[in-house]
Amino acid sequence: MAAIIKANYDTNRTYLRDVIPLGAPYSISLEVTRVCNIRCNYCFQSIDGSKKKELGFEARHIDLKLIETLAEQLKKFPNKIKSMRICGMGEPLANPQFEQIMNILKSSGKVEDISFFTNALLLTHERTQNLLNSGMDRMLISLQGLNAEKYKEVCGADISFEKLINEIKYFYDMSRSTNVKLHIKIADISLKEGEDKKFIDLFGNMADEVFIGTTVPMFKSVEYSNKIMQKSNQYGVEPENEFEVCPQPFYMLHVQANGDVNPCCDYFKPVVGNIIDTSIYDIWNGDRLYEIRRMLLEFKRKAIDYCADCPSKNLIVHHKEEHLDDCANEVLANIKKAKISNV
Ligand code: SF4
């Protein structure tokens, strides 16, 4: 087998407590679209259209001009963003300008590694060629089953599983003469009993990494079956200890398709700015994000609007390097000091 069995996170990690406050976020996730071609039953996209509207959800692609603006804004950071991940509420390949977007971001010279999550159903030979020329570093495919029937059950889509495999295989073969890596994962609920081996056998020779993940309840507005429980994070890791200080606002940002910015992998709220009127550099160093960080470090998470009943907190990989509960006072003193010297 060519692939290794591995979750899609880096195990070589830095202790956050030693580096906060960071001059630039380690990672930025970006939504290039809120349009999706399928409706997986565990995803926000599966809920009723009128309810989506009520929640302020708008199915749209990001404006290419906004990407150019973002690429320019990134240049203010003193160092490069280690990882830019294209993910969120839509399917990146549904955006016809996607390859151009990756090219603009990578050409900014401020992004070390750029990757994207896809269901791969819109992959064609032509798109494979364009993607491999776009500056991308990694494609992460999320499968919803091992045959057309399972796809129909999980995401209501009529697909040709054979075509999907052929396109993935073509991407893999073409990527061998480049530095682009391919990761393929499937969620536990998309496999029937005993199909773990079938998944590995089928995809182990057309990927660099393969992984069987865990489906977790991620969205407040989705009704989850009792098969989907919050015992672990999406990598199947159960937390050794409950933690209170959410580490995400200290190392990442998420940019929505309308330019709104969140301090974490929750794709809606809290919103700490919008890149149309404030640069991402100023948002990272701004008062709204500072207040969230301060309150988290003062163990006041439940007093922060939206963080109080956060559905995403337990999705975070519980790496010990990111726990801040036992050093909250020191970290708070450091961020206060940095804030004063920036005024
Ligand atoms: S507690 Fe939840 S909503 Fe608040 S910053 Fe962390 S992940 Fe985001």
Q: Which residues line ligand 1 (CB under 6 A)?
A: 246, 248-249, 263-264, 266, 301, 306-307, 310, 312-313
Q: Which tokens hold the place of 106?
A: 């990578």
Q: Are strands 4-5 and 27-30 parallel, antiparallel or unpaired?
A: unpaired
H-helix or E-strand spanning residue 170: helix 161-175
Residues 6+ apart with CB under 8 A from 10: none
Query: Relative to the CA of 270, which ligand 1 atom is closest?
Result: 3
* Per-residue pLDDT tens digits for 187-232: 888 898 889 999 999 999 999 999 998 776 666 666 766 555 556 6
Query: Which DSSP string corresponds to 96-163?
Result: TTHHHHHHHHHHTT-EEEEEEEE--TT--HHHHHHHHTTT--EEEEEE--SSHHHHHHHH-----HHH
- Phi then psi for residue 114, to 5 deg, are -125, 125
3-state secondary structure of 248: helix
3-state secondary structure of 83: strand
Distances (CA, A) of 91 to 38, 114, 185: 9, 16, 16
* Per-residue pLDDT tens digits for 57-115: 888 999 999 999 999 999 999 999 999 999 988 999 999 999 999 999 999 999 999 99
Query: Of 218, 233, 265, 266, which is best to mutate to test ligand 1, by the most ligand atoms within 8 angstroms of its C-beta?
Result: 266
Query: Of 295, 306, 316, 317, which is best to mutate to test ligand 1, by the most ligand atoms within 8 angstroms of its C-beta?
Result: 306
Of residues 65 and 39, the one with the higher pLDDT is 65
115 CA distance to ligand 1 middle (Å): 23
> pLDDT at position 52, please?
83
Of residues 44 and 107, the one with the higher pLDDT is 107
* Range name among 69-78, 135-144, 239-248 with the lowest pLDDT average: 239-248
Of residues 256 and 220, the one with the higher pLDDT is 256
Q: What is the DSSP letter of 5?
A: E
pTM, two decimal places? 0.91
Residue 342 has pLDDT above 80, yes or no: no
81 burial class (0-12, 13-18, 19+ CB within 10 angstroms)? buried
Average pLDDT, the chain: 90
